[in-house]
Structure formats: C-alpha cells, structure tokens
Amino acid sequence: MLHAEVGGLSVAYERTGDGPALVLLHGFTHDSRVWRPQLESLSDQFTVIAWDAPGAGQSADPPETFEIGDWADCLAGLLDTAGVESAHVLGLSWGGLLAQEFCRRHAARVQSLVLADTYAGWKVSLPEPIPEERLAACLRDASLPNSQFVPKYLPGMFGANPTQETRDELAGIMADFHPIGFRLMATSSYADTRDLLPNIRVPTLLVWGDVDARSPLTVAHQLHDAIPGARLAILPGAGHVSNLEQPAQFDAEVREFCLSVSVA
C-alpha cells in the first residue's frame, strides 16, 4: 500500500491502473480490501484509488472530534497528494454518506457520484426506532473483541446466498476493525443530507442490492427521487455489500456509467 501524511494523519491507500480517476470509499467495519474485485476489474480503464479512511485498515485513528466533514477534507488532501484534481467518486454504505459530504464541500472535484447501498443518514433514511437503536448498539459494540464483533455484524452484510469465499473474505476484513473508527463512523452515520440531494449537479448512479437488509431498497428510491437525473441499478440477490456479492454486474454498471460521463 501507499501512505500519505494528510493533516497530521497517516493515510493508507491503493492505487492501480491508468485512465480517468475513480475513487472508492468503503463503509465502516471495512477498509480498502473490500474493493478487491473493483481494483482488479476496473483498473484496465481507470486510475482506481481506494483508501483506508482514518480509523480503518492501515490508516491512523483520527481524534475523537472527527466528523464526516473532516473525513471529506482529509480525502481532498489525499487526492492533492496523489495528484488527482477530480474524479468519479464511488461510496459504499458509510462511504456513500462520505461521498455526499465530499460533493458538498468539494463539488468541483467530483466528476460523477456512484452511491451504493447507502443512506441520506440513518435518522432520515430509516424508520424509527431503528436509527437510535443502531447507533446505541454500535457505540456499545465498539468495545467487543473481534471474535464477538464479526459474528454479530457479518450476517447482516449479505443477501440470501453469499459464497463461503465471500463470507470468509469479508470476515477477515471486519476482524481488523478499529474501535475508535467504528464508533466515530457510526456517530457520523446519524446524519441528514436531505438538503444536499436536490442540489447535486453531477451525474449520479445508485447501485443497490435488492435484498439489502441494512439499507433497504426503499432508501434507494428515496435517493432516486431526490437527486436530479439520478439513475438506479438494482442487483438481484445482493445485500449490503453488492460489490462483493455481484462483482461482475456491479463493475459493469459502474464502468458503463463512468465511461459515459467521461466521454460526455
């Protein structure tokens, strides 16, 4: 992995391929390894950059005061270091919330948005009492050992029939979660981006697993209705990590969309 110093934090990231820049933002409990299929597949036509957000993977833990805007500004600093002026920005789950905030704060650097299995913030996307219960559980469970943490959170990531290989791959990633990062990312997920959505002016693709239990398809339709001109691609049989469960279809949707934007 590559490492950069951004705002006093050591930030790890993968970079591969050549072409228009495509930045991949993972969800919480995950890190850049969750993008393995996309790093392998999409690097033939894109410069693919996947970071470990501060508080995940090989990156340093951020201070307790870190909020979603701080991650967005840190990402901008990383792109400066990487020599990337603008990019297609793809966010999965919490990474989709971060992608929205990055678009709010650094709109000129966003060529297009791909929002996968994400939210406009838990408290507005999910019905009561789920947001409060989910946040309370995350804050409590941040102190669990990985031997208890992974069995609790892994099953909800998938659709009905994930392969054992896929389960094992994600379990290995989740076992390395950072308690501080998990807690701060969960807190920042309790957000509200509804004011931003009608003002997104870049081409936007929504990619969703049709059996996503953590961010149901109803959330996809909320975002689809709110973001001007947004497209929605639904992946049958996929859950919350649709990029791992249906990588071929996921990558095909992302590739076609981003290339169409680059050509336009």
Bond from prior residue into 129 cis (ω within 30 degrees of 0): yes
Asked if pLDDT for residue 264 goes beyond 80, the answer is no
State the Cα–Cα distance between residues 221 and 226, nearest whole angstrom.
8
Question: What is the domain-level CATH number for residue 134?
Answer: 3.40.50.1820
Q: Could you list the residue range(s) of the whole structural domain that residue 173 is in?
A: 2-263
pLDDT single digits (tens) 21-54? 999 999 999 999 999 999 999 999 999 999 999 9
Percent of the chain with pLDDT over 90: 97
Q: Number of folded domains in the chain? A: 1
State the Cα–Cα distance between residues 264 and 56, nearest whole angstrom.
35
User: Residue 214: its pLDDT value, please?
Assistant: 95
- Chain-centroid distance, C-alpha 177: 15
Nearest C-alpha neighbor of 256 from the set 231, 227, 238, 229: 231
Q: Is the pTM of this model over 0.95?
A: yes
User: Residue 263: its pLDDT value, please?
Assistant: 67
User: Residue 112: its pLDDT value, please?
Assistant: 98
Crossing angle of helices 179-189/94-105, nearest 10°?
70
Q: With residue 248 as reference, give the H or E element that holds it.
A: helix 247-263
User: Residue 160: its pLDDT value, please?
Assistant: 81
